[in-house]
Amino acid sequence: GDSVTQTEGQVALSEEDFLTIHCNYSASGYPALFWYVQYPGEGPQFLFRASRDKEKGSSRGFEATYDKGTTSFHLRKASVQESDSAVYYCALGFPSSGSWQLIFGSGTQLTVMP
């Protein structure tokens, strides 16, 4: 079946470091790809989406490019801040009844130290 793999369970950085969180997917069709962020005590919230090959999604300084060739959607940020500490989820989705049917990866805990 369709699946999403996030290889890093935890990432620890210092402020102003460069961030990369890896996301690879396996899907039988042509999914949209998503990043969600979850702050402590809250539900996940949508960060951005890309729907086609080579499309870049971005929000709040984070970005990722849909790469169908390598089946990847890696999250990057040039300079992280302590406030970016959160759990990041990569997901794939197919349109369904006016919204998206999502399959999530296992999540990556990002900790940014001042």
Partner 1 sequence: EAAVTQSPRNKVAVTGGKVTLSCNQTNNHNNMYWYRQDTGHGLRLIHYSYGAGSTEKGDIPDGYKASRPSQENFSLILELATPSQTSVYFCASGGPGLGSSYEQYFGPGTRLTVL
* Residue 43 per-residue DSSP state: -
Scanning 16-24, 54-62, 64-72, 91-99 for contacts with partner 1 by CB under 8 A, the matching segment is 91-99
Binding flag, residue 94, partner 1 (CB under 8 A): no
Give the contact letters, 23-62, x = binds to partner 1 (CB under 8 A), - = no: ------------------xxxxxx--x-------------
Binding flag, residue 100, partner 1 (CB under 8 A): yes
Residue whose entry in the numeric block shows the structure tokens 């997917």: 25
Query: Shortest Cβ distance from residue 46 to partner 1 (Å)?
Result: 4
Alpha helices, DSSP H, located in 7-110: none
Q: How far is CA 18 from the centre of its chain?
A: 15
Give the contact letters, 2-21, x = binds to partner 1 (CB under 8 A), - = no: --x-x--x------------
Residue 94 tokens read as: 């197919």
Binding flag, residue 107, partner 1 (CB under 8 A): yes
CA distance 33 to 12: 24
CA distance 12 to 109: 8
Find residue 43's DSSP bridge partners: none
Q: What does the binding site for partner 1 look like in residue numbers (CB under 8 A)?
A: 4, 6, 9, 41-46, 49, 89, 96-107
